[in-house]
Structure 1
Amino acid sequence: MKKLFHQYNRKIWIVFLITLIVGIIVFPKLSGKIPLHFNTLGEVDRYGSRWTIFLAPAINFLMILLAEGLRKIDPKSDSYQKFESQYYNMMFFVGLLMGGMQLFTIAYTFGYELNITRIMPIIMGIMFIFLGNIMPKFKHNYFVGIKTSWTLASEKVWYLTHRFTGKVWVLGGIVVLLSTFLPVQAIAWLFIAIIIILVLIPLGASYYFYRKFG
């Protein structure tokens, strides 16, 4: 129980409390439904109950439980001590992302003109740059990082794959950021293409490094 409140988790708890308080404050002022999903043109194509405003704090709370649960049941739980800072900073970043989505939903609901098609590449670009910077520091484990049969079979393959993927993701994040200057129609397709590439490259890299060094 004490581990739920240790120093690395405090930032996530703060984000959880902020999103919860914000949700409680705005809930009475929300209409019966709020935006839940946007299409590639930035138009709302799905609405949800106003109770979904509490989705952000709910996910943040689950992240806190998940952060402790995963490292506890991982057969390589000792590895987490070697990258604790990066591990919890990743969880914290997800918490901030959920908080940002909550604020966007609130702003949109109250009539502010916000273009999600322009905003999303910025958020995702920052996310890939952030993950790319911390990924090389992830140690061998079964839950966090590039988990293929090849990386799990060899610590050297794990290290090489994550170091290479980190560089690729930083570069990909920069490209995603720059895509915000393109026409709206082009952003969606480029964004999808980049995401697919950034997912496939680590898989190919892990196989290559395993064949060469595994």
Structure 2
Amino acid sequence: MKKHIFPIVIIGGTIIIWLFSLPYLSTEIPVHWGLKGEIDKYESKLTAMLSLTGIMVLTYFAITMLPKVDPKRENYKYFKRGYTFLVNFFLLLFFIMNGFAILGGLGYKLPSGSIGIILIGTIFIVIGNFLQIIRSNFFIGIRTPWTLSSDVVWTKTHRFAAKLLLISGFIIILTSLLPIKWTDYLVLGIVCFSVISTISYSYFIFKKEVQMIN
């Protein structure tokens, strides 16, 4: 039950903040920003409240259910604390997103471009730390045909991905210091490089393991 306290508090707190803020919000409020900080989507305040808080509730419900339906559910006990931390971290991110929307609806101008980049970098760092402890499963982690076919490939791939994401996360955060016109290309390039490198590495390790067996 203890693991549910933080999610309940942060989801409930978010809803309460919305309800207190509703009378003071503008008719339409920003709900999404691009990497350059430009607002690219508005919604009515009621729709925004329902959609943004609904995402929190549905995400928490879905993530909580995953270990119960995963055929490899027994492996979750080996990274239970890390999994709980990851769930709480993403709920905190959704809380921040709700906060951005509410503050935007109240007329505050936020440096959303640099904040968004820092959040992306932070996500990379947190996930990178999490990948080091995760065990084989069908829902969370680097799930390629090669990692799912071998625990050895899974472990080596996740150790590689963990280091890569940690480095990439810090680099992404540093890009927030650069002119905003460059950040789109740099962040996208880093993300693509991380994904392609990890998938390629899992295949390389798989082929190497096959050769060793034969």
- Preserved contact between residue 35 and residue 117 of structure 2 (Cα < 8 Å): no
Residues 117 and 187, structure 1, Cα contact 8 Å, conserved in 2:
no
Gaps of 5+ in 1: 1-5
Contact (CA 8 Å) 2:35, 2:116: kept in 1 or not? no
Does residue 117 of structure 2 align to residue 121 of structure 1? yes
Query: Aligned pair 1:152/2:152, yes or no?
Result: no
Query: For residue 8 of structure 2, what is the aligned residue in structure 1?
Result: 13
Shift of 1:67: 2.2
CA contact (8 A) 2:131 2:159 kept: yes
Contact 1:34 1:109 in 2 (8 A): yes
Indicate the residue corresponding to 1:31 in structure 2.
26
TM-score by length of 1: 0.92
Check conservation: 1:136, 1:166, Cα contact below 8 A.
yes
The count of corresponding residues between Structure 1 and Structure 2 is 209
Aligned-partner Cα distance in 2 for 1:210–1:53:
46
2:76/2:135 contact within 8 Å kept = yes
CA–CA distance in 2 between the matches of 1:10 and 1:200? Answer: 38
Q: Distance in 1 between matches of 2:117 and 2:145?
A: 31
TM-score (norm 2): 0.92
Q: How does 1:102-141 map to 2 (within 5 A)?
A: 102-141=98-137
Runs of 4+ that moved beyond 6 A: none
- The answer for the alignment partner of 1:60 in structure 2 is 56
Contact preservation (8 Å) 2:18, 2:102: no
RMSD: 1.4
Distance 1:162 1:194, change over 3 A: same
The 1:173/1:193 distance shift into structure 2, 3 A limit, reads same
In the alignment, the residues of structure 2 paired with residue 68 and residue 37 of structure 1 have an alpha-carbon distance, to the nearest angstrom, of 26
Contact preservation (8 Å) 1:67, 1:91: yes
Identity within the alignment, %: 31
Shift of 1:203: 0.8
Q: Which amino acid aligns with 1:112?
A: Y
Trace 1:43-192 onto structure 2 (pairs within 5 A).
43-51=38-46, 52-192=48-188
Structure 2, gaps ≥5 residues long? none
Provide the secondary structure at the position in 2 that maps to 1:206: helix
How far residue 108 of structure 1 moved from its aligned partner, in angstroms, is 2.0
Match of 2:200 in 1: 204
